[in-house]
Structure 1
Amino acid sequence: MLYVQQSLAPDEELVHIGQFHWMYTVGAFFSIIWSLFFGIAIIIIAIKGYTFWGVQEMKNATVLESIQILHPGIKLLAFFVFIFGLLKFAHMMVVKATTEIAITNNRLIFKRGLVARQVGEINIDRIEGVNVLQTIMGRIFNYGRIMVRGMGV
């Protein structure tokens, strides 16, 4: 909340500080879990395919020996699937760490970004409407997205 505290006017006080729901972090961790699952599935399917098509070296090989016999392209594909999940996790955590949302008695403040900063501010009296978007999981776990519409452009 460093940006929000620095941008407060002398007569302004914080009313509410917005934060990400814990399900956002769970979703980030699931991106790692799913990518690991799909990477391992690629390896297993390739080993089963090699065995099915009669590659003799695979018949009596251990799991590690089977992985070593696999084509390097298959191993790279599985590796990149896992790396994609790690990058997705890192991106989600950076977004969470660098986003500040606050409501003061005068305005709503939204700041996002680590190096390139994106800031949105709107006066409370200029807010025209608010929409709450919730999925079924959002209704169950009490989270959602808030869309604020302001007057003018």
Structure 2
Amino acid sequence: MSYIQNNLQAGEEIKYKANIHWYIFVYPIILLLLGVFFSCAQTGIIYYIGLLLLLLGLFHLTKRILLKVGAEYVVTNKKVILKSGILSRDALELILSKCEGLRINQSIMGRILGFGSIIVTTGGVTNKFNFIANPIKFRNEINAQIQ
């Protein structure tokens, strides 16, 4: 059972669940493709650069898979729950009535592909969660629950 399901209060129900966007896998895949390309050269330093790129690509791919598996971003009828991590956990549970600020950052690529960062502010504390798929919908759902 997920962290969210285990921590819902009586009468609390999930209204919206955001996902991590697939774009997080672009950088590791590019590294892996370049690594395969350069390691096929089989000549001197280019071969070793290819192996290094393969190792970096595998490292970043593993890191991004763990991010995707360990992240849960949910709006309920009472609070916003933002949880990331598998081995270590970073969880923010924000009561909707205490929500001071919600900021969305989207790059040009983020706007085109539909992802962005959500920055939640409460009591002077700021938490940033990257690569949220459809952050505008996430913000709109929070606003709908507050009203």
User: TM-score higher than 0.5 here?
Assistant: yes
RMSD in angstroms over aligned alpha carbons?
Answer: 2.3
User: What TM-score, normalized by structure 2, do the two folds share?
Assistant: 0.73
Paired-residue identity, %: 29
Q: Comparing both structures, which one devotes a greater share of its residues to helix? A: 1
- Runs of at least 5 residues in structure 2 that lack an aligned partner in the other structure: 126-147
Provide the C-alpha distance between the structure 2 equivalents of 1:82 and 1:22, rounded to a whole number of angstroms: 20
Residue in 1 aligned with 2:29? 32
Tell me if structure 1 keeps the 8 A contact 2:34–2:53.
no
Larger radius of gyration: 1
Provide the C-alpha distance between the structure 1 equivalents of 2:98 and 2:72, rounded to a whole number of angstroms: 20
Pair 1:98–1:139, CA change in 2 (3 A): same
Residue in 1 aligned with 2:106? 134
* Counterpart mapping for 1:83-94 below 5 A: 83-94=55-66
Tell me if structure 2 keeps the 8 A contact 1:20–1:96.
yes
- Runs of at least 5 residues in structure 1 that lack an aligned partner in the other structure: 45-66
Secondary structure at the residue paired with 1:17? strand
User: What TM-score, normalized by structure 1, do the two folds share?
Assistant: 0.70
Query: Please, which of 108, 112, 117 is the counterpart of residue 145 of structure 1?
Result: 117
| 2:60 maps to 1:95 | no
Q: How many residues align?
A: 125
Residue 18 of structure 1 and its aligned partner are, at CA, apart by: 1.2
Residue in 2 aligned with 1:12? 12
Q: Comparing both structures, which one devotes a greater share of its residues to strand? A: 2
Secondary structure at the residue paired with 1:116? coil
Pair 1:150–1:3, CA change in 2 (3 A): same
